[in-house]
Structure 1
Amino acid sequence: MESITTIFTPDTILRWHRKLVAQKWDYSERRKKAGRRPISREVTDLIVRFAKENRSWGYHRIQGALANVGHEVSDSTVANVLKAHGLEPAPLRKKRTPWKEFLKAHWDQLAAVDFTSVEVWAPRGLITFYLLFVIQPKTRRAYFAGCTTAPNDAWMQQIGRNLIDDEDGFLKDSRLLIMDRDTKFSAAFRNTVGHGGVHSLRLPPKTPNLNAYIERLMRSIKEECLDRMIFFGEDALQNAVCEYLKHYHAERNHQGLDNRLIADPEEPPPDGLTRCCERLGGILKHYYRAAA
């Protein structure tokens, strides 16, 4: 006994005893876990979906919609899920139109405009040319409005008048023109297109993602054409842009249009050789079947 007392103190032995007694009467394994059942992933996804697709729906409306599809939850559960996903209550949510919804609502009358620049060799060295393009996001049809070394108010006003011309203006059927805050899109230009019934929608600063369709056009023409050539004079530049747009509309498949062409292609003949058509010395190519 003396040897044991030198190893363990009475307090240690008592602590062990209390622990064994507590373990004997511990029925926590048999008890049901307290608290609410966790929300299933399916219900969470439905709450978020209903809120995003119906911006005017409040907690009670979403709760009712869930009951209609067999999910009984409280309105406080709906509120907690929306809060966790950063979604505001209906009074605030319905006042803020998502950009995607805005574009969809104006799809048939929407156009976008933007500049890109190219360096061109001239007798006095490299000169910067500014190229102006307009696009209809719904159809992906693009228009080369012009190029200049000095996009001042006078030039921009003339471009505006060309765009809203009643007979062949590219914007004659549009009512909304998206543009960034580039100073070249001056008040004079905006007023000019406004006279043709086209409202100018200026985007917040540094938001190219809000003008994605024209930005994608710029990327395509740069990567597939302009960045692969050296231009000597304005005529060479304009010719390259015009050739690219012919290719873009009638020969180039567009992933945003289910990999189709913008222009309606002719039905290929049932047989015949597959031939290659080249533009700009082979930089642009497309393939077609020639009649036998």
Structure 2
Amino acid sequence: MLRKGFSHASLNICHLTVDLFRFLRGFLQSKSALAAENLFLRKQLSLYQERQVRPHRATDATRLAMVLMAKLFDWKEALITVRPETFIGWHRKGFRLFWRWKSKRIGRPRIPEDLRGLILAMARDNPSWGQARITNELLVKLGIQVSPRTIQKYLLTDPNGSRLRPDPSHRWMTFVRNHAQAMLACDFLVTVTARFQVLYVFVIMEIGTRRLVHFNVTSHPNAAWTLQQFREAISDAQSYRFLVHDRDSIYSQELDLGVKAMGVKVLKTPFRSPQANSYCERLIGSVRRECLDFLIPISEGHLRKTLNVWKTHYNQGRPHSSLGPGLPEPGHNTPVPIQKHRYQLQKGYRLKSKAILGGLHHEYWLEKIAA
């Protein structure tokens, strides 16, 4: 691509050079010779017009040469190959390019685009950093010397021209990651039985380990029933500090006060912001995709029994990519070291498996072969 662009530019320069020599040669010819040559060329052009031959697309060099030569005579009478409005457009384009070249920025040149992107990324990823901190970070750790004033100039606006502001979701996710081990999240999901009875499944999860702490099923959820689920899920031995839930009316003020009495602070998500409770939303999606989408509950008891089996599988037998991958409750399924030969099982062990939910899922593990 670069070689092609270079050869194209060289060809344009050659055409301009040839046109310049022809122009200078005209000064050495007499007026009668120039008039005869002009008439001779016009006759040849008239032949093309009679045959209705469509001319080739003009190159940049041809356009530039025609625009420059048109300043020396009345070009309107001599214009044949293109329309007047097209030729005027060439002139305007050349004028814009001329002023763009003449109006080059003065002062220090702009820093490279990749460095500007790095500065903006540092500002977004670290909301508390100012220009001095970013300057020191670049100088000490990356060996890049940029003045604080230059960094401040690029911090004022993003590449789209709008004022750069800290991302609120970034600050929220930072808070969640810092307190994940002591944070719970909860939500409801709805399912329908074979007899068209609507059932509500309430789930509570631990964000740090992704463990499904508690679930229960009811056909008539209310604040008192929901508060009882928190009492069953949160024991005195556990040091949970925060609970995230949405603004559903079932989470009444009395419920929040009851949770607060357990030593847990309630964090309500903003209106219409399911992403603020994204971990629990992801859990509910997993329940649907991996369990409820493949069966129709017969009754409340059947649904509760099914979800109890899936809960054990989810916590103890299902690897979670967000954990490394890993298991919320490893139990006997402790991670096996990666083998030297990546496509072979560990020597001295054999593969075992068991079906979950009638074969909907399977769990696999290695069992040591008796000597």
Could you say whether these structures have the same fold, taking a TM-score greater than 0.5 normalized by the shorter chain as the test? yes
Extract unaligned runs of 5+ from structure 2: 1-30, 40-67, 74-101, 337-345
Match of 1:52 in 2: 124
User: Which structure's CA Rg is the greater one?
Assistant: 2
Match of 1:80 in 2: 153
Could you say what secondary structure the match of 1:98 adopts?
Answer: helix
Match of 2:357 in 1: 280
TM alignment of 1:23-172, pairs within 5 A? 35=106, 36-68=108-140, 69-85=142-158, 86-88=163-165, 98-121=171-194, 125-166=195-236, 172=238
Match of 1:258 in 2: 324
Match of 2:8 in 1: none
- Taking a change above 3 Å as real, the CA distance of residues 285 and 98 of structure 1, as seen in their structure-2 partners, is same
CA RMSD of aligned residues (A): 3.3
Larger relative contact order (CA 8 Å, sep ≥ 6): 1
Distance 2:70 2:167 in 1: 66
What amino acid does structure 1 have at the position aligned with 2:219? T
Match of 2:366 in 1: 289
What amino acid does structure 1 have at the position aligned with 2:322? G
Give the superposition deviation at 1:94.
11
Give the superposition deviation at 1:53.
4.5
Distance 2:199 2:168 in 1: 42
C-alpha contact 2:316 2:328 (8 A) present in aligned 1: yes
C-alpha contact 1:208 1:215 (8 A) present in aligned 2: yes
- Taking a change above 3 Å as real, the CA distance of residues 59 and 166 of structure 1, as seen in their structure-2 partners, is closer
Give the superposition deviation at 1:148.
0.7
- Taking a change above 3 Å as real, the CA distance of residues 47 and 79 of structure 1, as seen in their structure-2 partners, is same
Give the superposition deviation at 1:263.
2.2
Give the superposition deviation at 1:137.
1.3
C-alpha contact 1:43 1:71 (8 A) present in aligned 2: no
Extract unaligned runs of 5+ from structure 1: 18-30
C-alpha contact 2:125 2:170 (8 A) present in aligned 1: no
Could you say what secondary structure the match of 1:212 adopts?
Answer: helix
C-alpha contact 1:110 1:174 (8 A) present in aligned 2: yes
Could you say what secondary structure the match of 1:205 adopts?
Answer: coil
- Give the structure with the higher percent strand: 1
Q: Which range moved further: 111-120 or 272-281?
A: 272-281
- Taking a change above 3 Å as real, the CA distance of residues 14 and 199 of structure 1, as seen in their structure-2 partners, is closer
- 1:207 correspondence with 2:273: yes
Distance 2:187 2:136 in 1: 46
- Taking a change above 3 Å as real, the CA distance of residues 65 and 151 of structure 1, as seen in their structure-2 partners, is same
**Equivalent in 266, 283, 292 of residue 217 of structure 1:** 283
- 1:198 correspondence with 2:275: no
Q: Which range moved further: 270-279 or 223-232?
A: 270-279
Identity, % of aligned positions: 28
Show CA shifts across 1:230-274 (max 9, x none): 111111101110000111111111111112222222477853442
Give the superposition deviation at 1:51.
2.3
Match of 2:294 in 1: 228
C-alpha contact 1:163 1:193 (8 A) present in aligned 2: no
Show CA shifts across 1:186-220 (max 9, x none): 22221111100111100012212221211111111
Match of 2:91 in 1: none
TM-score after normalising by structure 2: 0.63
Give the superposition deviation at 1:176.
0.3
C-alpha contact 1:136 1:142 (8 A) present in aligned 2: yes
Q: How many residues align?
A: 265
